[in-house]
Amino acid sequence: MKVVVKKFGGTSVASLNLMRNVALRVERALKEGERVVLVLSAMGNTTDRLIEMAREVSVSPVPRELDMLLSTGEIVSVALMSMILNRMGIKACSMTGGYHAGIITDDNYTRARIKYIEADRLKELLEEGVVPVVAGFQGVNENGDITTLGRGGSDTTAVALAVALNADRCEIYTDVNGVYAADPRVVPDAVRIPVISYDEMMEMAVLGARVLQYRCVDLARRYNVELIVKSSFYEDGGTVIKEVDDMMERSEVRAVTHNEDVAKVVIKDVPDRPGMAARIFRKLGDKGIPIDMIIQGVTKGDRSDVAFIVSRSDLQSVLDVADEVVKEVGAAGVSYNMDIAKVSLVGANITSDPSMPGKMFSVLAENGINIDMIATSGLRISCIVERKHINDAVRALYRAFNVYETGNE
């Protein structure tokens, strides 16, 4: 018998009526012979409301207490959903992520990582034909305190349970009907990608595609869990994320992604001595701030500029660290620019085709778009452009690389 983990996000359970729709979907799946494990997020904007209350009482709430508070949102969802299912005659049992579903995490409150899962009770329930309804986003540490898994945590819960239960697949239901080859708000006729590899999906997540978090795809990849992203409001569509065998020699552009949540920071006139860059980026790394696209400028005499891209939400922390660094290494100062955005081409082996980068830069140039910084990896080519040009850049690249053809394979 097939075991399928189905995860529904906040917009899919935002009201009792929407919850009833989810329950009907579960009913259909059971009739088709699936054994279903449900994972739910908190209803609608519940988590935001709770965070707001916490901020109202404390500028920096104790992380343990914040997790205790936030965990309640998902518990409300699973208790109500279990009532709905039972009312329909479907045996269901709500479960907190930690004590009941057995998700044991480390001690990093607000961004805990799963250490292991004690899935005995889940397995028993499945054996008995009961639908476990598991609160996503949460676990419990070995001290018995409630933790939360951070952004996209419920997706991670779903994939981790799929691993622990050796499930046939993990379905992520959300408010979009899969992964698109470009943001449909920018490219209205952007095609849905029916199948994509883990690696490509991870690259897209890093580059700003919001549909799945990197971490969740990474986990699925490592344990080879077939992931499906689909809309909770439509039957058809969706994107399958799995190991794609035939991509070894393929070098197509699968998607054009863009991200406006970026800022550029420049540390000016850094003395050109060994270890200077290490000093800067170790400090930022210690604070857990992810850095993208580091460029050390052309040396002017014995000094050079160091520029890099960070997320806008991290900018203040980065500037604080940068100020320290300036003093320590004797640089001239720090500047930043928020008036930028990042556009990327994503595809397996994309940089193994030597014509790709040149073609990308030409397309942007032809459209009068200046490139400020460039970064490449095996799976992507990214350019920093002026913010006001970002939508034009996405559209021009989408057309020029015929993404709709490769997407619709």
Q: Residue 317: how many CB atoms within 10 A of its CB?
A: 14
Which residues make Cβ contacts (< 8 Å) with residue 153, sequence separation at least 6? 136, 137, 138
Min dist. Cβ of residue 10 to a second copy (A): 16
Helix (H) or strand (E) holding 340: strand 340-346
Min dist. Cβ of residue 140 to a second copy (A): 8
Which residues make Cβ contacts (< 8 Å) with residue 399, sequence separation at least 6? none
- Find the part of the chain contacting a second copy (CB under 8 A) among 143-151, 238-246, 287-295, 363-371: 143-151
87 lies in the site for a second copy, by CB under 8 A: yes
367 lies in the site for a second copy, by CB under 8 A: no
Min dist. Cβ of residue 9 to a second copy (A): 19
Cα(360)–Cα(400) distance, integer angstroms? 9
Closer to a second copy by Cβ: residue 64 or 359 = 64
Helix (H) or strand (E) holding 322: helix 315-329
Q: Residue 62: how many CB atoms within 10 A of its CB?
A: 11
**Residue 147 contacts residue 209 (beta carbons within 8 Å):** no
Min dist. Cβ of residue 252 to a second copy (A): 47
Edge to edge, what strands does the sheet with 3-8 contain? Answer: 92-95, 131-135, 35-40, 3-8, 169-174, 227-231, 239-242, 195-197
Closer to a second copy by Cβ: residue 68 or 371 = 68
Closer to a second copy by Cβ: residue 61 or 297 = 61
118 lies in the site for a second copy, by CB under 8 A: no
Residues 53-72 interacting with a second copy (rule: CB under 8 A): 53-54, 56-59, 61-62, 64-66, 68-69, 71-72
Task: Catalogue the E-assigned strands of 53-175.
Answer: 92-95, 103-105, 114-117, 131-135, 138-141, 146-148, 169-174
Per the DSSP assignment, residues forming a β-bridge with 242 are 197
157 lies in the site for a second copy, by CB under 8 A: no
| Exposure string for 92-110, b = 16+ CB within 10 A, e = fewer | bbbbbbbebbbbbbeebbb
Grouping H, G, I as helix, E, B as strand and the rest as coil, residue 373 is strand
Min dist. Cβ of residue 384 to a second copy (A): 39
Cα(304)–Cα(268) distance, integer angstroms? 7
Q: For strand 103-105 and strand 146-148, is the pairing parallel, antiparallel, or unpaired?
A: unpaired
Min dist. Cβ of residue 24 to a second copy (A): 13
- Find the part of the chain contacting a second copy (CB under 8 A) among 140-148, 164-172, 199-207, 292-300: 140-148
Closer to a second copy by Cβ: residue 54 or 294 = 54
Min dist. Cβ of residue 35 to a second copy (A): 20
Closer to a second copy by Cβ: residue 58 or 299 = 58
Closer to a second copy by Cβ: residue 49 or 279 = 49
Min dist. Cβ of residue 67 to a second copy (A): 8
Question: Which residue from 172, 174, 153, 170 is spatially nearest to 161, judged by alpha carbons?
Answer: 170
86 lies in the site for a second copy, by CB under 8 A: yes
Closer to a second copy by Cβ: residue 99 or 404 = 99
List of residues contacting a second copy (CB under 8 A): 16, 19-20, 50, 53-54, 56-59, 61-62, 64-66, 68-69, 71-72, 75-76, 78-80, 82-84, 86-87, 93-94, 96, 99-100, 144-146
